[in-house]
């Protein structure tokens, strides 16, 4: 059920042999994100449960889910980019059906993130699913 963008990331991960290269790739993905304007970095968009500062700005126009996000940590910006690849462009009513844990598991992220980063990633996924459910 993954998007083409997410499948591209999964394919790239298959070719990268060690985790240092994979982390670098995640960071590079984050560098490609458009920064979120300071006006959107407010308590309403802040994700609780993340050790880093994280903001997600969902959009459900036209019944299609997307979000923009930002963080003060480079690796977390990369994780936001991975989640954007997983969820952006998906019909709103299908967002809840995406098994993020399984999809991210395909990348090996479940086993290679610190406990704090894993908790933050779960918090981001929960916020995404909540935003889609409320749409």
The 10 Å CB-count burial string (b at 16+, else e) for 83-97 is bbbbbbebebeebee
What amino acid positions are annotated as catalytic residues?
50
Question: For residue 61, what are its two tokens?
Answer: 């126009």
Helices (H) and strands (E) in the chain, counts: 6, 3
User: Which one, of 120, 108, 104, 115, lies nearest residue 20 by Cα?
Assistant: 108
Strand ranges across the sheet with 90-91: 54-59, 64-71, 90-91
Q: How far apart are CA 132 and CA 96, in angstroms?
A: 7
């Amino acid at each position: 059920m993954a998007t083409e963008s997410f499948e591209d990331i999964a394919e790239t991960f298959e070719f990268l042999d060690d985790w240092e290269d994979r982390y670098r790739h995640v960071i590079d993905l984050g560098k490609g994100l458009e920064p979120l304007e300071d006006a959107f970095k407010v308590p309403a968009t802040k994700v609780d449960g993340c050790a880093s500062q994280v903001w997600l700005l969902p959009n459900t126009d036209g019944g299609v889910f997307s979000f923009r996000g930002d963080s003060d940590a480079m690796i977390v910006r990369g994780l936001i980019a991975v989640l954007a690849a997983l969820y952006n462009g998906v019909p709103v009513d299908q967002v809840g059906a995406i098994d993020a844990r399984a999809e991210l598991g395909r990348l090996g992220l479940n086993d290679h993130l610190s406990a704090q980063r894993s908790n933050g990633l779960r918090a981001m996924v929960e916020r995404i699913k909540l935003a889609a459910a409320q749409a």
